[in-house]
Every structure is written in C-alpha cells, then in structure tokens.
Structure 1
Amino acid sequence: MTRPTSRDVATAAGVSQATVSLVLGDKWRGRVSERTADLVREAATTLGYRPNLAARNLRLGTTRTALLVVPALTNEFFARVYTGAARIAAEHGFGVVLYPSPDGTGPARDPFASARAALDGVIASSMAADTLEAIGGATLPLVMLDSDPAAGGSAHVNLAMADGMRQIVHHLQDHGHRRFLHLASAIDTWTFRVRAEALTTHLGPHTELRTVRAHLSVDAARTAMETALATPGHDRPTAVICDDDILAAGACKAARRLGLRIPQDLSVTGFDDLALATAVEPELTTIHLPAERIGEQGMTALLAVLEGTPWTAPDLPVNLVVRDSSGPAPKAP
C-alpha cells in the first residue's frame, strides 16, 4: 500500500500543500481559519498520514530535540519537571533528553560530541547560566527554570519562592511562634538565597532567628539539627523552617532522638511537597511547588524562542499545605 503524502492530504481537504504544512506543523493560528485546520487534521487522520519528521528536520536543519539539565536525579522534583516538559514537547513533535549534571550545580559537561549539532535548545532547572557554556549555553536557545532572572538565558520560568516563604512565616507567627531556626541548604544557589532573604524580610519585630546549614540529605540534616537543638528549653527554637522536605525529614529525626514531640514541642516545615512529605510521621507542613507545570512552561518558552516569539510570564504561584508537623508554639515554662 502506497504511503499517503502531504499532497494527498491537501487534495482530500481541498487546500494547498503549504496549508497542510502549516496545520500539521502547528503554525496555522493567525494564518488559516480553525475550520480549515480541522479539515486538514480530519483528512490526515482518515488517510493515516504521518509527516516524515526525519526529512523535514533535514530540510530545516533542526533535530527537534531539547536537553533538560538538572543538578541531580535523586530529588523527585526534577523528575516531575521532566514529565511536564516531555508532555509539551511530545505535542509538538519534539523529544526531551534528561541530563543530570555530573557536578551538580557546578559547570556542566557536554554529554554529546557537540551539543550544538545534536540539540535545538537547552532547558536548565536550578542551574546558573554560566555553568552551561560547555553545552552551548552561550549559543543555543537557553531557558532557565528556578534561576536568577537577571542572569543570562533566552527566557526564564520561575516559581514564587519568596511568596512561599512568606506563607510559612505567617502561618507560624499566627500560631504564636517567635523563636525560629532556619535549616538552610549548604548549596549556594539563587533559589535558596531567595528563600533566606524572604524569611528575613517577613519575620516581624520581637522574633529570633538562627541559621544552620546542611547538605541535602536526611543524615546531614539530622546531624546538624541534633547539635542545634541541644540547648536549654527556654533558648530552644519553637519552629524549624527548612529549605526543603529532605532537610525537614532530618530535622524531625533529630527532634525525636532528643525526646521532642512534633508539633507540641517543636514545629517543623518543609518546602517542595515531595512524596516524602506524607511518608514521614507526622506528615509535613510544606510549600507545594507545581513541578510539572514549571516543566510545561519551560518547554513552551523554548518553543516560543525557537519560533522567534518573545516569551514572558509571571512567576508560577505556590501554596502552603498545612499538615500535622506544625502547630501552636509551646507555652513558656
């Protein structure tokens, strides 16, 4: 059986081959009517037509492939970002290659003989633009996720991280907390700096704040918190605000080892709303980050850049999820 061609689709729909190319390439909006686009899609479906993407890519000089660079695969946040990006990519005939940078947030190495030849663009989550030069960050279209909007890149997609920290602070202050400990990430990146600055900004007068840093692991957080919490009761913080859920899980383990009850003696909050947040006991009060949504917007932004269309969007909203790890501040003895 002869494979149907774009000319066959054009004949069946009563349109030109150029119109078929516009519709099936998803570039028809503003150029042909929605009714015509429907006719072309119906004709293509009836005939069983599939565009020859390999030949099309050779003509256009593109690979229809994007690279998603992440600091690590051990955090499910990045897996969810990939899921969102891949969903939008598939709708437009693109593929997404997931690349965990071997050096975390440090300078990324080129995973190909030449990224410039293998890729149409790069999406980077929680990285700095200057760490991506080896994989074409200076020459390929580059979309930055959860990164400094003042840094390089063709487009940026961010979450409202500062507002998330504001929600946590207000929640705890409404429960009477005045002595806080910030269990901060030891990784110096823009997203964690934003959280620290927002925490300081939103704490009101007559509050105390100490900061302890730990690497992003449960054991590192537990060790740091066992030392930080081993203070007399009247000096001990009543609430621990953690930069992410992994640190919060470590904080909870430390509290239990020291005989502290959560939340009766100590409230603990996280950030990210990972599956871990409901696996620990008590379940974590945390900030939900729409990870799949940021992946979707990242791929949408890259497609816009490739089309030569300016792309801007407000920060994606985040929301506080209140669970059992936070409660009223303990009464002074």
Structure 2
Amino acid sequence: MAHGSLPPGGVRPTSRDVARLAGVSQATVSLVLGEKWRGRVSERTADLVRDAARELGYRPNLAARNLRLGRTRTALLVVPALTNEFFARVYTGAAAVAAEHGFGVVLYPSPEGVGPARDPFASARAALDGVIASSMAAEALTDIRGSDLPLVMLDSDPADPGAAAHVNLDIADGMRQMTNHLLALGHRRFVHLASAVTSWTFDVRARALATALGSVPDAVVRTVPAPLDVGSAREATERTLAGPGARPTAIVCDDDILAAGACKAVRRLGLRVPEDISVTGFDDLALATAVEPELTTIRLPAERVGERGMSALLAVLEGRPPGQGDLPVELVARGSSAPAPVG
C-alpha cells in the first residue's frame, strides 16, 4: 500500500485522506466506496482503497452520498405551521407526486414559524435527499440542509439565491384581480388588513394593492397589521372602524382567516357585510364558504404548488432543469363583496 500522511488525531478522515493513503485519486475512492468501480479500476486498486478506508476508520459522507445515489428517497417539506389549511394542501400535492416516483415526504412544521428552522432529528442531512420549504426564506433552512441538500422554495422570494428551484404563485396578479373587482364596484375607501407575519408573500400582496390603488386618484387605503388569527383580526378591525375619519367601504384582507375576523368585527359594531362594508379574503380555504356571507377571495391552487415543488426537486436530483413560470390564481366572487354604499 502506498502510504501518505495520516490525518491528525481526533480529526475525522476525509476521502482525500483515503486517496492519499491508497495512492489514488479522490474520484477513484468515490468509485470504489460507491461500488461503481468494476470495469473502471482494477481489483487490486479497489482493495487498496478499501484497506486504506479501514485503516483510517473512514466513513463516507452519507448526506452527500445519499444525494448522489438517491438512497433514502425521502424529501422533507418544511412549513411555518400546521394550523393553516394551505400547507396541508401543499403537502397533499407533494406527497402524490412523490408516491408516483417511489419517494416519501416527511412534513415538518418549523417551531419558529417563518424563522430559522431547527434540525428535526439527529441529522436530517443524513436521512434526506432534499428539502422543500413553503413560504420561508432559504437562510431559515441552514440548520437542516447545510450545504449538502438541494432546496426547493415554494411561495417565497425568487431572488433568494439559496435555492436550487423556486415554485411561486402569481400573488401580485391575485391582488390586482381583487383590487380591480372592488374598484369596479365603486369602492374608493379601503382598509388593508395585513398579516403581521414578515413574509415575502405578504409583502407582495401589500405592494400589489398599493400599486393598483396608486393609479386611482380618489382611492385611499389605510394599512392595519394583525396577527394571523380570527380573534386578533376582529380586534384590529373593531379598533379601526371605531376610530376617527370616514368609514372604509371595503376591507381587503391578506388571508381568509383575517377576513373571518373582520366580518365578525363588522357585525359586532352593528354593521352589515356587504351592504355597509365589503370584506375580501385570500387563499380560498374551506373557511371561505363556512362563514356567512361566503367570502369573496383569491383561489390559490395549493395542491399544484406541492406537486410542482416535488417535481422540481426530482428534476434537480436527476440533473434536469425544473419547470418555470408562476402558477395562475383566480378571483372567486361571493357574497361578501357588493357595490360601495352611497355617501
């Protein structure tokens, strides 16, 4: 055996150390330890590599090896929470495509919401082929994926450089559709009940609404942030409607959950939806048709997001370019929006 320098005591040996000790290239080490050497290197060379690996106590990097070979056939889907139906539907779509390709999807709600996600088990990188993250930033996934695992980001900033692929909805167009719907009904005084969660998708909604209304000279909008739950939305709306100034004729909500809270606030103040105030949502959750009147909202194809996300990860793992283009969204007009009241 050709002996080179051994790694210092206490330092985990690398494939480079094995190559040096065996007197071969790192590529040869990879072929032998990956059981792809037959017909490419001699039996004697393969023995040299295996002997060197045993002598050094070398163990292959499972994360990198699994990524190359697809051995685990498992993807991790990270979401900010399980309390929102949208993410459950994303999982349904991802799992369906995964099953068609012999993959499994593990669903992981980040304990920190959209903040940094902790590694869910001893070493996620050694047990996964890739990570899919919905409505989060790439930097929040560092502890899970390190630099080894490919990341596909869903409903997230397409300018974020940490992802191998992006799958987005046309959120801005959804807000434009909603704004145009309300403007056509004669609304000019708006409240934007905005999610207090810091997230790219909510920032896009705010910018799109401001841009759409900015071209209408007599339109005014007041932004009111609220935590993403019905009770907080109700309280924020009650404070806003009870405050000074002209009453808004339309409340544009970032989410159906916020819209449900806004509807409760309107009724508690003795007003009517939509006769006195129109209220609109975003997402088209099951909640949208459970409230009365049913919500006018933007339908997001959450299952398609999951399907496209898993398909993109499979493409990355296979060295193919992932699909491009935002998924279209759709205005669903229901009973919570109506012509603006006169006066």
Q: Same fold (TM over 0.5)?
A: yes
Over aligned residue pairs, what C-alpha RMSD do you find?
A: 1.4
Could you say which residue in structure 2 is the equivalent of 1:282? 293
2:151 maps to 1:160: no
Q: Per the alignment, in what secondary structure is the counterpart of residue 177 of structure 2? A: helix
For residues 77 and 92 of structure 2, the distance between their equivalents in structure 1, rounded to whole angstroms, comes to 11
Check if 1:237 corresponds to 2:248: yes
Q: Provide, for residues 138-195 of structure 1, a one-character-per-residue CA deviation record: whole Å limited to 9, x for no partner.
A: 3201000000000020000000000000000000000000000000000111000000
- 2:137 maps to which residue? 128
Q: 1:201 is paired with a residue of what secondary structure?
A: helix
Q: 1:303 to 1:265 in 2, by over 3 A?
A: same
| Alignment partner, residue 334 of structure 2 | 323
Shift of the 122–257 alpha-carbon distance from structure 1 to 2, 3 Å rule, reads same
**In the TM superposition, what whole-angstrom CA distance separates every residue of 1:191-238 from its partner, at most 9, and x where no partner exists?**
000000000011122111100000000000000000001146x70100
Give the secondary-structure state (helix, strand or coil) at the position aligned to 2:209.
helix
Amino acid at match of 2:242: A
TM-score, scaled to structure 1? 0.81
Equivalent residue for 1:95, pick from 71, 80, 104: 104
- Alignment map for 1:100-115 (pairs within 5 Å): 100-115=109-124
Shift of the alpha carbon at 1:263? 0.4
Give the 3 Å change call, closer, same or farther, for CA 60–123 of structure 1 in structure 2. Answer: same
- State the match for 1:228 in structure 2: 240
How far, CA to CA, are the matches of 1:60 and 1:163 in structure 2?
40
The structure 1 segments of at least 4 consecutive aligned residues displaced by more than 3 Å after TM superposition are: 57-61
Taking structure 2 as the reference length, the TM-score comes to 0.78
- Of 209, 231, 234 in structure 2, the residue corresponding to residue 199 of structure 1 is 209
Cα distance in 2 between the residues matched to 1:126 and 1:253: 27
SS at match of 2:102: coil
Contact 2:67/2:129 (8 A) holds in 1 = no
Unmatched tracts of structure 1, length 5 or more: 1-56
TM-superposed CA distance for 1:312, in Å, is 3.5
2:187 to 171, 177, 180: 177
Q: Which has the larger radius of gyration?
A: 2
- Tell me by how many angstroms 1:59 deviates: 10
What is the identity, as a one-letter code, of the residue corresponding to 1:112?
A: F
The answer to whether 1:214 aligns with 2:226 is: yes
Match of 1:186 among 191, 196, 201: 196
Letter in 2 for 1:186: A
1:195 is paired with a residue whose SS is: helix
- Segment drifting more, 181-190 vs 60-69: 60-69
Q: Secondary structure of 2:143's match?
A: helix
Label 1:58 to 1:109 Cα distance change in 2 as closer, same or farther (>3 A): closer
Q: Give the SS at the match of 2:274.
A: coil
Matched, 1:147 2:159: no
Matched pairs, number: 275
Shift, 1:58, TM fit: 12
Equivalent-residue separation in structure 2 for 1:73 and 1:139 (angstroms):
27
Q: Match of 1:257, as an amino acid?
A: R
Partner of 2:74: 65
Deviation of the 1:61 alpha carbon? 5.7
Output the CA distance in 2 between the equivalents of 1:153 and 1:173.
38
Displacement of 1:62 in angstroms is 1.9
User: 2:67–2:317: 8 Å Cα contact kept in structure 1?
Assistant: no
Structure-2 residue corresponding to 1:267: 278
Q: Which runs of 5+ in 2 are unaligned?
A: 1-65
Letter in 1 for 2:252: I
Q: Please state how far the C-alpha of 1:137 moved relative to its aligned partner.
A: 5.0
CA distance in 2, matches of 1:229, 1:198: 24
Aligned residues of 1:271 and 1:287 also touching (Cα < 8 A): yes
Question: 2: CA distance between counterparts of 1:60 and 1:330?
Answer: 63
Is contact 1:122-1:137 (8 Å) kept?
no
